[in-house]
Amino acid sequence: MDLSRFARRRYTSFVTPLEPLPRFSAALAASCPGGRGPEVWIKRDDMLGLFPGGNKTRKLEFLVADALGQGADTLITCGAPQSNHCRITLAAAAREGLKCRFVIEERVPGSFSETASGNHFMFRLMGVESLTVVPAGSNMAQAMQAQADALAAQGRKGYIVPGGGSNALGGLGYVACAQELQQQFFDMGVQIDRVVVGSGSSGTHGGLLAGFLGNRIHIPIVGIGVSRDPADQEPLVHKEAQAVADLLNLNMVVPRDAVLSIGGYWQPKYSVPNPMMVEAVQMLARTEGIPLDPVYTGKIMAGLIGLSRQGYFKPGERVLFLHTGGLPSVHAFERVLLDGPPA
């Protein structure tokens, strides 16, 4: 697939590493049936540009290029109080000399704090122009449009980046990732049996799926839900994958059975810690020295661990974990990650 016809800003000057996790795999195997588990590998998209990296960087390469092409002077986006997406969008804006505005949805009542650490500290450090907090369930598209209208009244031009950067254009970032992975598999002589990825706003999961199908990469993708169970999540992923395929003119109907997500690891609520997440974060940090974040990658890895212990993955099967970043939010959950969530 040729992505060259799409405008793109380059925020990462290297290919993110693809690495085995031998000590983590051994620790996991010890708790699996028969003392055998999968061979876990990792794709280090936490090392992407716009420090400290994360999956949204790939999406913003296309979205910000579109914003600049339209003459925008301000990026407008939305997310939760510790949004990685908001933080990376702000970093892109700073890199490009643009202003940035957020609409923050307080999905868990009382979770927003002006003095919070983690990503909220980064919002303030990198100079977000304005931050509007709205209650859970608000119409986020409408709230972002209100910001764009306010800018227009001042003679400025805002560009709305959808939540998570998840639309067809943003999804091209993970088509590019699929192509990058395909080349790495060839160069390294590595055969991967399954890929485990987070499934939230659906841009990463859907974009990667479209990229795998379009490039004829026959590796199943297992999405671990971070905010919804499969009945609600899978239609979103399917819609995103189809939108990306249509944008690329692939003349392809995305098979519904190619979309797989697993629920049960994100409860009790989005962004609220659970013991499985804490175990996953501690386990990877203490075996491989790689941090995960509590909202996304910690729960995604909890899913990989839980599925392994259930025998979902065959012993010795090579399972690739896509690390989508989120480092700053670790600092907003320090006590939870050391002591565990409250009972």
Q: How far apart are CA 224 and CA 95, in angstroms?
A: 32
Q: Which helix (H) or strand (E) holds 103?
A: strand 99-106
Q: What is the 3-state secondary structure (H, E, C) of 204-228?
A: HHHHHHHHHHHCCCCCCEEEEECCC
CB neighbours (10 Å) of residue 318? 19
Q: Is 130 noted as a catalytic residue in this protein? A: no
Q: How far apart are CA 269 and CA 198, in angstroms?
A: 15
Q: Which one of the listed residues 83, 202, 261, 308 is annotated catalytic?
A: 83
What DSSP designation does 167 have?
A: S
Residues 6 or more apart in contact with residue 4 via CB below 8 angstroms: none
Region of residue 185 (left: phi > 0; alpha: psi -120 to 50; beta: else): alpha
**Selection from 180, 190, 179 nearest residue 213 by Cα:** 179
Residues marked as catalytic: 83
